[in-house]
């Protein structure tokens, strides 16, 4: 069963990630918040270090590929790249969420490739920077409403459609695109395809201006008669109506704990800084004091800390289950729902607790509050996560519980 202590083998990785968040991300965080769409050139020198960290752990140390770890610890329990990813990514996002999202070869598309790709595909695409393209102008959180098509033509597929809100869509080496191979068959026909940058028919048409995570580029991409090899289809090419949408949705079981880890990181950053500021004003934390003797600020901080710990444990559980081959769809959604909502509440609450100081650009608190909002939206909104959890608990299908 799960052990709530951090595995010893990951402590050095966590320490390295924290140092990066503190020494690399924090000093340039405000600079790229003010220069939206400017590429953080400082990350180029860091990319090689991250690649080395990935190779040493067998997975991705940042926001990237989650692949089953074949080695087990002494107790027969796996603590693999899923756990390594969420632990290290929380530290990176303690430094800056937007910069974490724009690390080369650490995109959420990499998680999709690692979750679904066969060995040959992983050899081709595993070390490329991969973005994820799901959302379209006609829908938001209902991923089953994909209208982009991929029609088989000999040894290729021809993709037509438009994707929006593609994180790292301009900078990435390739994009994992969700498209239907036969819209008459409904959601069961939705497959994911790797489309490499520069493929004729693929065009980045604009970059979005956003509330937060401004260091990360967010693109709109069109596909017009875009021809890709059939070998770029991830997973089973056959349409299984009985299995339905489950195959492609497996990606989310891996990526939702990743987003939850990001939320945990930025929430802890707000808690840590708020605690420091309160301490400097002689409002110190004293967990041995009776509850009735606490100030309102102390009591609120303690409530936030309790909520944060709950979100952290749910995230670790979802990652641990993935490493151990245990179906974690419900737990992944629970972690994402709890962490996203908690991060929003904590970051905004810390701004409110500190008044003018929290609202001013003299502190990073207002930026963290803006950055945190997306973590409750992408990879499935709060409402979608609650719906998925309800379906799992009640044993209902998507058609039975909408």
CA distance 176 to 194: 5
DSSP-derived secondary structure for 302-357: HHHHHHHHHHHHHHHHHHHHHHTT---HHHHHHHHHHHHHHHHHHHHHHHHHTTHH
Catalytic residue from among 136, 162, 366, 379 = 379
Q: Could you tell me where the beta strands, DSSP code E, fall in 118-261?
A: 130-133, 149-153, 156-167, 174-180, 190-196, 202-207, 218-229, 233-234
CA distance 259 to 220: 21
Contact 93, 265 (CB under 8 A): yes
Q: Which helix (H) or strand (E) holds 79?
A: none
Query: Among this protein's residues, is 305 annotated catalytic?
Result: no
Contact 397, 246 (CB under 8 A): no
Which residue, 400, 253, 251, is CA-closest to 319? 253
CA distance 149 to 183: 8
Active site residues: 379
């Amino acid at each position: 069963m799960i052990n709530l202590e951090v595995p010893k083998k990951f402590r050095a990785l966590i320490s390295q990630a924290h140092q990066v968040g503190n020494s690399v991300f924090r000093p340039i965080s405000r600079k790229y918040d003010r220069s939206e769409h400017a590429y953080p050139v400082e990350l180029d020198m860091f990319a090689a270090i991250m690649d080395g960290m990935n190779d040493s752990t067998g997975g991705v140390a940042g926001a990237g590929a989650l692949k089953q770890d074949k080695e087990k610890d002494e107790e027969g329990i796996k603590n693999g790249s899923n756990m390594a990813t969420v632990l290290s990514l929380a530290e990176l996002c303690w430094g800056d969420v937007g910069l974490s999202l724009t690390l080369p070869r650490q995109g959420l598309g990499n998680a999709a490739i690692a979750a679904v790709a066969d060995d040959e595909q992983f050899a081709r695409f595993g070390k490329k920077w991969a973005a994820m393209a799901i959302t379209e102008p006609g829908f938001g959180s209902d991923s089953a409403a994909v209208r982009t098509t991929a029609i088989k033509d000999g040894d290729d597929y021809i993709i037509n459609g438009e994707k929006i809100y593609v994180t790292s869509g301009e900078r990435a080496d390739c994009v994992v695109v969700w498209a239907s191979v036969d819209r008459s068959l409904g959601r069961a026909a939705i497959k994911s395809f790797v489309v490499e940058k520069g493929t004729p028919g693929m065009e980045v048409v604009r970059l979005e201006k956003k509330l937060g995570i401004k260091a990360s580029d967010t693109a709109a991409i069109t596909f017009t008669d875009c021809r890709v090899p059939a070998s770029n289809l991830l997973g089973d090419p056959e349409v299984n109506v009985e299995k339905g949408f489950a195959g492609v949705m497996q990606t989310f079981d891996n990526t939702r704990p990743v987003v939850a880890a990001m939320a945990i990181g930025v929430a802890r950053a707000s808690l840590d800084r708020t605690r420091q500021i309160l301490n400097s004003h002689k409002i110190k934390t004293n967990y041995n004091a009776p509850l009735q003797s606490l100030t309102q600020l102390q009591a609120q901080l303690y409530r936030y800390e309790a909520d944060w710990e709950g979100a952290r444990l749910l995230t670790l559980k979802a990652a641990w289950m993935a490493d151990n081959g245990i179906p974690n769809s419900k737990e992944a959604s629970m972690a994402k729902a709890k962490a996203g909502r908690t991060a929003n509440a904590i970051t905004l609450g810390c701004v409110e607790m500190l008044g003018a100081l929290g609202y001013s650009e003299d502190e990073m608190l207002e930026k963290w509050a803006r950055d945190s909002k997306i973590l409750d939206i992408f990879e499935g909104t709060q409402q979608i996560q609650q719906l998925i959890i309800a379906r799992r608990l009640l044993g209902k299908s998507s058609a039975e519980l909408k």
